[in-house]
Amino acid sequence: MKADLKGLDTREIEAWAVRLGLEAYRGRQIRHWLLGRLADSFEEMTDIPKSIRVLLEDNANISHLEQVKALVSTDGTRKYLFKLNDGHFIESVLIPERDHWTLCISSQAGCAMDCRFCLTARQGLKRDLEASEIIEQVIQIKRSMDNGGRVTNIVFMGMGEPLANYDAVVKAIRNLVSEDGLNFSHRKITLSTCGLVPRMTKLGKDITVNLAISLNAADDKTRSFLMPINSRYPLKTLLSACRDFPLPNRRMITFEYILIKGVNDRDEDALKLVSLLKGLRAKINLIPLNPLPGLDMSPSSMESILNFQGILLKNHFTAIIRKSKGADILAACGQLSGAISESES
C-alpha cells in the first residue's frame, strides 16, 4: 500500500524516506512541502530532483478529502462538508473573529458520547478519523481562503470526541505545531472534551495544548442526564483531573456551559458552578442552547443568561456569553451532522 504522508510525524517520515533509499532529511523536506507549503502534488516540490519525485509518485499518496459543499452564513461563518474515501461525511467550520479566523475541526465521523443536546450524537459513531484526515481539513481550508490561508486558531470542537480518537488526534496536533509542519503555536490550539478523564491526564503528559471541558452542569444528576459520560467520570473525578492538568504558562482551562431553560440556568446552578471551579484558573464560556429538531429543551432567556453570568463575574470568574455563529447554515455548536447533506451528494 502507498504511504499516506500527511499523517506521519517527523521521525516516521524520516524513517520512511530512508526505507526508500533516500537520506532522512528528504523526509523532512517532503513534509515541509506538504504541510508548511500546502503542496498538492510532488510535481510542485521543485527543490527535489525529478528522479526522486518519480520515486515518490510510485510509493506515496497525497491524500485528499472531497469537498462536497461550502456554505457561507450571513455572519461570515463558513461551513465545509467533506466526504471521506469510504463515503462518510465530516464537517469543519471557519469562524471569523474581529481580527482573526478560528477553524473548528472534526476528529471523528459521528460520535459515540450520546450527549442529549448534540446533533452529531444522533448519528452515533461512524468511525475515527486518521491523523491525515484531521490535518487535511486544515490544509484544504487554508488553501481555499482568499487571505493567504491565515487561520490563527484551531479548535477541536467539530464532530466527534477528540480524546476517544487519542492517537490520531495527538499525531495531528504534533503535525500542526511542528516547525516543518503547519507551524502553529500550541497556544493557538484548543482541544475540547466531554471529559474522558484518564485520557485527559495522559494528554497533559504527552503534549502541550489548551484544554476546554464541555461541562454544561454543576451537579452530577443534571450532568449525567445531559451527558452520559458523566456516569463513568463524575464531576469530582473530572475536576480533580482539571486541577492536575499542566497548563501552558498563564493559560486557563475553558469550561463550556450550555444554558438550557429550567435545566441548568438557575441562581443555585451558578453558585454550584462557582464552588465547583473554586481555585481553578478557569474561563467560562456561556453558550445559549442551539435548538435542534425534536429536542425537548430550549435556550435560557437573555435575562437568565445575564443573571447567570452576573453571579460568575461577582465571584471573580471570567465568564463570556458566546452567541454561536453560523446558525443559519447549521454550523453552530452542536449542529454538525454530515448526515443532513447525504441526500444531496
Q: Which residues bind ligand SAH (CB under 6 A)?
A: 113, 117-118, 157, 161, 192-194, 214, 216, 256, 258, 287, 289-290, 292, 333-334
Contacts of 211 (CB under 8 A, 6+ apart): 190, 191, 192, 193, 200, 203, 204, 242, 245, 247, 253, 254
Q: Measured at CB, which residue is nearest to ligand SAH?
A: 334
Q: How many other CB atoms sit within 10 Å of the CB of residue 68?
A: 16
Q: Report the SS3 class of residue 7.
A: helix
Task: Using the minimum distance from each CB to ligand SAH, give the nearer residue, 7 or 158.
Answer: 158
List beta partners, residue 260: 299
Task: Using the minimum distance from each CB to ligand SAH, give the nearer residue, 36 or 299.
Answer: 299
91 is catalytic: yes
Least Å distance, CB 334 to ligand SAH, is: 2
Rg (the chain; Cα; Å)? 21
Least Å distance, CB 232 to ligand SAH, is: 14
Task: Using the minimum distance from each CB to ligand SAH, give the nearer residue, 216 or 230.
Answer: 216
Catalytic residue of the set 111, 115, 242, 333: 333
Give just the sign of the alpha carbon dihedral 318, 113, 201, 180.
negative
What type of residue is 95? I
Least Å distance, CB 60 to ligand SAH, is: 31
Task: Using the minimum distance from each CB to ligand SAH, give the nearer residue, 26 or 223.
Answer: 223
Question: CA of 307: how far to CAs of 284, 297, 312, in Å?
Answer: 14, 20, 9
71 in Cβ contact with 329 (< 8 Å): yes
Least Å distance, CB 301 to ligand SAH, is: 15
- In this structure, what C-alpha cell is assigned to residue 272? 454550584
Least Å distance, CB 248 to ligand SAH, is: 19
254 in Cβ contact with 285 (< 8 Å): yes
333 is catalytic: yes
Catalytic residue of the set 14, 91, 136, 256: 91
Task: Using the minimum distance from each CB to ligand SAH, give the nearer residue, 287 or 331.
Answer: 287
Give me the active site residues, please: 91, 333
